[in-house]
Amino acid sequence: MQSADRKAHAIVFIRVVLSILMFIHGAARISNGTVGGFGEFLELQGFPLGFYLAWAITLFELVGSVLLAVGLYSWIIAIVFAMHLTVGIVLVHWKDGWFVVGAGRNGIEYSVLLVLSFLAVAYASYQTVRR
């Protein structure tokens, strides 16, 4: 296998893994019945129409994940997921510091990893589209 093929396969692998993680995130919100609570949280943060925004975000996590996994609009979807997670860092995780577990709880480290991974996928996908 050529080096370029290995790199392409690695990006596909990361893209699919990220898709699975985000799909589970949205599916868990639905299965746990917490979309409404998420909407209330968004309204408390100053976002209008929190309930509908929460559903839009949740549905994007599901539909966007499937599109990303199969490689459709990958760079755009990866950028939106990176922005989505960055907002989550600011609204939820920042106050808890860096660590998710161990030296802290609910911090930003996992979200930062996801944001940077999505940006790497976006960059690689955009470069592929431009060729």
What confidence tier does 131 reach under pLDDT thresholds 50, 70, 90?
Answer: low
Give residue-wise pLDDT tens across range 14-52.
Answer: 999 999 999 999 999 999 999 999 999 999 999 999 999
Residue 65: which domain range? Answer: 3-130
- How confident is the model at residue 1, as a pLDDT? 75
**Average pLDDT along the chain:** 95
Tokens of 94: 């920042």
Quote the pTM value: 0.94
Q: What's the 3-state SS for 50-107?
A: HHHHHHHHHHHHHHHHHHHHHCCCHHHHHHHHHHHHHHHHHHHHHHHCCCCCCCCCCC
Residue with the two structure tokens 């490689």: 71
Question: How many domains is the chain built from?
Answer: 1
Whole-angstrom distance, CA of residue 92 vs CA of residue 110: 13
Please, which residues have CB within 8 angstroms of residue 66's CB and are 6 or more apart in sequence? Answer: 19, 23
